[in-house]
Amino acid sequence: MATGKINELTPGMKPKGLKDFLTRIVKNDEEALSLRSDQLHDLIGGPVTVLPPDTRHVDYDVIPIIVADGCLYHCGFCRVKTGQDFAPRAPKEVIQQIKNLKRFYGKDLHNYNAIFLGQHDALSAGQELLELAAEKAYDLFELEHSFLKGASLFLFGSVDSILRSEERLFESLNHLPFSTFINVGLESNDPKTLEALQKPISVQKVREAFTRILAINKRYERIEVTTNFVFGKDLPPDHLPSF
């Protein structure tokens, strides 16, 4: 129903609950939603260019908190990352971002139970910043009282961040009040494919990272690490067999 038609019907409408509902619809037309989207981007420092595939578990309905910008690799095949060098944000900036998001979402916070720590390699931001962001968000967003049960935390990692992260980081994540999902792009186990993708890592590192991922998934009950591999008809012939 067009906004103008709703405006014509609402003045004498009963019951009051239906009238209030339709009034709220009118206030959230396409222009208003576009403005709200712009406001969210201003609060977090830009748009979210990609979400981890694991966010399908919550129908991609997450609150984004940006703890770091840029990435480590700048792979040639990638079209979703910013091109910035990796840099974690300051703890004070992350806390202020969470406070601003609390005001932005307002009463709607109880409809959320999932956080995305962005952008492209939050795992590289380190234990202290991840702990700070996750715990502060859980408390300020009152996720314990969400209409949706079971809080979830989503973030990206990289081959290098998985390999160099100390065990205490994963122990810390495992003790947070979240089910934590970490997605890591491995892309291929074939050196020629990695070269074609312009991904600056070695097959040896890919294999070491995969072994570490298996160990993490086996050891920590509340952490699940998933991986990405690319598919395409123009990739080198040894790409699929290399799996």
Same domain (yes/no): 85, 170: yes
Whether 241 maps to a domain, the answer reads no
Containing structural domain, residue 171 = 45-229
Same domain (yes/no): 102, 204: yes
Say how far apart CA 150 and CA 71 lie, in whole Å.
30
Whether 200 maps to a domain, the answer reads yes
- Predicted confidence (pLDDT) per residue in 145-174, tens digit: 999 999 999 999 999 999 999 999 999 999
Q: Which one has a higher pLDDT value, 80 or 112?
A: 112
Whether 235 maps to a domain, the answer reads no
Same domain (yes/no): 60, 33: no
- 72 beta partners: none
Same domain (yes/no): 28, 66: no
**What is the domain-level CATH number for residue 145?**
3.20.20.70
SS3 216: helix
Whether 243 maps to a domain, the answer reads no
Whether 94 maps to a domain, the answer reads yes
pTM of the model: 0.90
What is the per-residue pLDDT for 79?
Answer: 83
SS3 229: strand
How many domains are contained in the chain? Answer: 2
- 190 beta partners: none
Same domain (yes/no): 173, 141: yes
Same domain (yes/no): 197, 165: yes
pLDDT at 228 exceeding the cut of 80: yes
